[in-house]
Structure 1
Amino acid sequence: MRVKLEDVCERGSSNIKQSDIIKMSGNYPIYGASGLAGKVNFYHQEQPYVAVVKDGAGIGRTTLNPAKSSVIGTMQYLIPKKNVLPEYLFYVVSYMHLEKYYTGATIPHIYFKDYKNKEFNLDNIEKQLEIIDVLGRCKKVIEARKQELVELDSLTKARFVELFGDIRCNNKLPLVKLSEFVNIGSSKRIYANEYVDKGVPFYRSKEIRELGTGMKPSVELYIKQERYDEIKEKYGVPKKGDILIAAIGATIGYSWIVDTDTPFYYKDGNLIILSIKNNVNPIFLNYTMRILIEDFKNKDVAGSAQLALTIEKLEKMMVVNPDIKLQNQFADFVHQVNKSKFDTMTFAPIYAIINLYLHTYFYQGRR
């Protein structure tokens, strides 16, 4: 049966601020754009529900939250009606990619009124359970493989420390400003009305996160080839060896070393580019930046509701400058670890199953 989103859920809102819960404690979880924000002594929702980030960074991100929990005010409740299971509603809304409905230039917003009429296929409860089971099993496989990736990453971390020590308090290696290694910049603004269905891929933090973990990006937005060519001629575009870093919100610090000549562009404000200009290995620098940005998140912006990594902050960062031979030695080790990752743990077949299910059961024109 073909239905609209508003036929299966009710909108709910929250006026809770992040600052309201800092000193609270309790047994009931409360969620924000980045996930669990804390535990409090109250809850707003008796049953499981879907939550959507409606303001600021991470806009459109969808989560399935448990019974007896709440969200802060930057999120929107989608409360399931009796004709839909919460898990089914979660998959439906996730596949809608609500971020494309945003308005506002400085602080983006999305409103229920803008996507409540989105249509999809509503199956009976028995069929919903079947679909949820298949997708749930796929997710379990993905989680198991992610744990294997964590263990391989531990090997990389150990090798880095063996070669360079703790770079945050290393007195043996020379320090230089990051700006001596790279040119730090951002993209030219692309407006929502410039998005097209086909063309040059347009990457945001989500795609950079996927690329940085070796996945094929699930591209959702494109710009015209003519627009890309114009930007390339006037301002330049990313090239092989450049590093793109997610600079805001929940994905801050995720990065990707550009490894292709295939045209793409990227979102202003969300991503910062490091264009290498001196004798430095991009793999070494990329790993160094992960450590420094994690340290930045923990120390400089602790308790902040809106994490943001600016060009100015990056320019002030000091990085170690070891001999290029050591940098290359570390890069060779990373190549070997990545080979193990990509040879044995590709997510592509699993995501193909998920996307097939989502497209076939939710959005093909079945009646």
Structure 2
Amino acid sequence: MRTAAVVGTGLIGTSVALALTARGITVYLHDADSTAVRTAAALGAGLDEAPPAEVDLAVLAVPPGRIAAALKDCQDQGLAHSYTDVGSVKEQPLLDIEALRCDVSRYIGGHPLAGRERSGPFAARADLFDGRPWVLTPSKETDTETLNRALEMVALCRAVPVVMEPRAHDHAVALVSHAPHLVSALMAARFEDAADTATRLAGQGVRDVTRIAGSDPRLWIEILGANATAVADVLAGFADDLNETVTALRELAAEDDAKRRSGEEGIGGILRRGNVGHARIPGKHGAPAARYESVPVVVGDQPGELARLFGDVGIAGVNIEDMSIDHSPGRPAGLVELMVDPAAAEGLVVELRRKGWNVQR
């Protein structure tokens, strides 16, 4: 692949363009919003002009409900030999594409599972897809050349290709992305009318749970609308569990011993199921989840403190497998939780304390 076109210069489209341009591909940009396309071009994502000839691959970075119309328009113009998209829903767009009598043989659905809470070209990054799954959903008519070009694009973006059927993809993302987004929004909505004295107590746990609730509602209405049934099925099961949990909590607060025991069993059951489900989420590089040990370190709110901590960990010869930072605005220090190999944890604690760090264990 030597040339590509990106239609839609928001976060994902511009990130694709930046990644391809960085690998030597000539990328042509198009967006109905002239400001967005000029911004993406100024960031080095590609050329704000029409290609002089048919490009190898066009990436349709538009919302799911607009994919079919965009593909029809681009194919009528002869923009590219092959086409893909980055929509988060796959079955309905394919049905729409077939209804518009597009050339399905030169189209393959795609969905990079990467993103940020921010939107627009200024939020784009060339490394956004590094190591992330990128689902491709070929139809029965998709030709081999189109599949190969999509696979090459995924490789150039340094993502990991995953081939699935459109319907299987939609049920999977309902579970791992769409339903969690609504659950995050519902939890964040509890803070809408909360007292300031309560919100000031918020720590890293609630930030983790509500982080994705800051995304653009307009985009998510389109995403959820295109996958509404699958998402509703996931949330129906969630609602059943939530009702049982509420009942168990009421019992846990009862004065009757038998009810309290029933409540303990109910809450214990949901927590244990949560442990099992959490353990099934893949760990680093898609490998099975590994058990790490936490080393919590108090870090002052001064320039260079995090770098100094990481440097001392590196000198100790320990790899940081994962980490989190709990630091609320206004506090003079934060708590950095370093997740490391259990065999290295005790030695790291000793080394960090020797260098003056306040390790909370």
- The normalised TM-score by structure 2 is 0.24
Q: Which has the higher contact order (CA 8 A, sep 6+)?
A: 1
Which of the two has higher C-alpha Rg? 2
